Amino acid sequence: MKIIDTDQQVHIDQLLSFLRENVNKRFEERRQISLTFDIDKIDDTALKIYKPEIYDDFIFRIDIKDRELQITKSEHYTDDVNALTLEDILNNLFLEFPGRDNIAFIRDRS
């Protein structure tokens, strides 16, 4: 699990909109294939990125706890090229949202 602690509260609808606007576009640019992921709210505090036609479960789950993002990568797809590409894209996007200046720290936790 990757934990990103921010200096401000994270609003789920803003994050959802940001990811929907950027993830699939960047994935297609990077991989040069047409593959789109679904990005939806699980509830008022969590999002999931998934592709039910290919994957049985979520690929990434993002839990929001006030000013903290907890990003969980599914253990089932750790060596999958699409999941690895998606992870790299998300890592870069999380530097843009909420912005490098608004990130207090980033840590990985098993």
Pick the closest to residue 110 from 31, 2, 11 (CA basis). Answer: 2
Contacts of residues 20-25 at CB distance under 8 Å and 24 or more positions apart, as own/partner, are: 22/89, 22/93, 22/96, 23/49, 23/86, 23/89, 23/90, 23/93
Residue extents of the structural domains in the chain: 2-108
What is the pLDDT averaged over residues 58-77? Answer: 95
Angle at alpha carbon of residue 32, lines to 56 and 37, rounded to 5°: 30
* CATH tag for 2-108 (out of 3.30.70, 3.30.310, 2.60.40, 1.20.120): 3.30.310
**Structural tokens at position 36:** 């789109």
pLDDT at 46 over 90: yes
| Separation of alpha carbons 87 and 95, rounded Å | 13
Output the pLDDT for position 97: 85
How confident is residue 90, by pLDDT bands cut at 50, 70 and 90?
Answer: very high
Name the pLDDT band for 30 (thresholds 50, 70, 90). very high
